[in-house]
Amino acid sequence: MTIITKSFGIKTKGDTDILDITQQVGKALKETQLKNGILNVFVPGSTAGITTTEYEPGLLQDLPATFEKLVPKTAEYKHNLTWGDGNGYAHVRAALLKSFFTVPFVDGEMILGTWQQIILIDFDNRRRQREIVVQLIGE
């Protein structure tokens, strides 16, 4: 069993910016030459998350609208009172999503559905340079 950790950077716009990172994750897998195992995709930080969905225009509108209904930007957040940075909503949204996603791979290929992509959602209220960590366990 081998454990390999790789990473890549990605620029975001913030404000519930949704980015398809499937290709970058797949590239990290290919570079390892591992054949079978699992990989974990992780975003350090507390205002972004990783998940999966079909990366298509309708969902790129539906997801932000849903997060706005669940965790409105304009609600009162104690975090904002403590820090004054106005991104309390971003922390709550990211906590609901999660900061990681795990994918099995077989014969060097990720096992994803036909319309399934791995996405990063950056909820922060400003542009960010995010580092994405991909840790692979396999043979």
pLDDT above 90 as % of the chain: 100
Q: Cα(98)–Cα(52) distance, rounded to whole angstroms?
A: 11
Chain Cα centroid distance, residue 42: 7
pLDDT of residue 71: 98
What are the residue ranges spanned by the domains of the chain? Answer: 2-138
What is the average pLDDT score of the chain?
97
| Residue 33: per-residue pLDDT | 94
Which top CATH class is 2-138? Answer: mainly beta
pLDDT score at 134: 98
The mean per-residue pLDDT over the stretch 78-101 comes to: 96
Residue 102 CB partners (closer than 8 Å, separation 6+): 38, 39, 40, 41
First to last CA, the chain: 5
